[in-house]
Structure 1
Amino acid sequence: MSVEHQHGPCDLPVDPLLGQPRMVADPRISITQASVVLGKSPAQVHRFIALGRLPRHGQPNNGRPLLLSEVVALRDKGEPIKLVPAARRLQCSLDDVRKLIADGKLPLVPGTKSLVYPADVKELAATSATNLPRKPQVPDGYVGTAAVAKRLGRSESYIRQMAADGRLPAMFVSGRWYFDPNRIDMIERARHAQAVRGVPIMRFD
């Protein structure tokens, strides 16, 4: 009469994430194990916990305070991105992204005021078009970055940075900045007048 073989821990396959057999479906793991899953240092994992990006479980002195599923979920969200790249991916304006955040449709990365997860942006972009802001159209007569840079005597990268920071009025459409020429005329005239009077040139901010 044969006796059914009892599988012990040593007979189970090694989980590549844990480096050891998985005894339960969603095991708790240590800070060190989480750092391996995330590709971060243990100090960064502690910081994620402090910022609320990773929930801690159990007693304060628990050696395995994190759930593997939550660590993997954080890893799969991707490295946080700024709002301008998020606007490009969603094909909407920066103001629309801020409205999505204010409405609770696009969560900010915990502990930040201007970062979002790529996975959340991708999920939002995959929803029906009616749930996303309507893509703005460039008004007739608006000019691009090169034209503004030439008129104001600045580099294109400087103009783009001023627009991204909200210090130069602009619209962001399909990955490009567009400017109201009337507003640029006002800025140009004000700077010229200040130069004539010998006062410090007006800053964009």
Structure 2
Amino acid sequence: MVDAGLAREYRARLAELLGEPLMVDDPLITTAQAAVLFGVPPLRVAGLIRAGHLPARSRSHRRLLLSDVIQSGLDRWMSVTEAGVVLGVGDTGVRRMITAGLLTAHGKTLPLRRDDVDVLARLRMGWLTLSAAATKLGVDVIEVHQMLRNGALTHTCDVARPVYGYELSRLLAGRSGRLVPAAAAE
């Protein structure tokens, strides 16, 4: 169910956008109007319709009920390209993350949930490249590969940043003979 206050806000914004008062409680709007109303690209609206996340009331003209658009939360979705900008990788890198199971694609046109991308971006801050891990450990990249293969390090499933940073702290502490609690290592 749509929040009444939120519905009033979007109805007022739509009336302002159209330049005339709305005659019905839940008007049909175009995909272009939905895109302007939520400040998202029109292709995202069309992609969410194709993926089945946003019900179109008229197939030929793609008319949408305002309440459906509000409920779908257009601003909670992003494209592969937008996700790439947030994650600092290209489209191919995002698709690799989807294939690896780090992100979930919701439909053929791959709309991604903004929350999922934001969580992954925060997690990736603590992940390291092979060369960064090798530098921190004082070994070469080949030895880091061996550590990933033999289980001394766990692979993150991210091709660009395959090493968990917190695991390096435990390895370094183990080398120095100190015990580091798991919480302190993170």
TM tier, shorter chain? Answer: 0.3 to 0.5
TM-score, normalised relative to structure 1: 0.38
